[in-house]
């Protein structure tokens, strides 16, 4: 799953550049410029990818190591 998250990150990096929409005057929902709508979608996608990264790529055992270190510091 780590590789899928990395692929999604690269996908977001590539598609974040929306230079083709700078001259697009279309309004979505009657009030949002197309470029802003695109960036809202990219932001939501980035939040989902970050959630996946923390769920599947976060190192295991960090909390236990931190608690163990705090206990040793308290003894000293």
Domain range list for the chain = 2-75
Higher pLDDT, 50 or 21: 50
Tokens found for residue 12: 């977001």
Closest CA to 35 of 53, 59, 16, 60: 16
Owner of token pair 């780590």: 2
- Give the total residue count for the chain: 76
Predicted local distance difference test score (pLDDT) of residue 30: 92
pTM of the model: 0.71
The radius of gyration of the chain from alpha carbons, rounded to an integer in Å, stands at: 20
In whole angstroms, give the CA distance from residue 8 to residue 26. 28
Q: Using one digit for the tens of pLDDT, what is the confidence trace for 8-40?
A: 999 999 988 877 777 888 899 999 988 889 999
């Amino acid at each position: 799953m780590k590789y899928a998250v990395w692929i999604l990150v690269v996908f977001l990096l590539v598609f974040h550049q929306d230079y083709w929409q700078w001259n697009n005057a279309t309004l979505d929902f009657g009030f949002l410029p197309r470029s802003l709508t695109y960036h809202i979608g990219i932001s939501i996608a980035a939040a989902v990818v970050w959630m996946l990264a923390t769920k599947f790529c976060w190192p295991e055992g960090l909390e236990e190591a931190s608690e163990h270190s705090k206990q040793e510091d308290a003894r000293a």
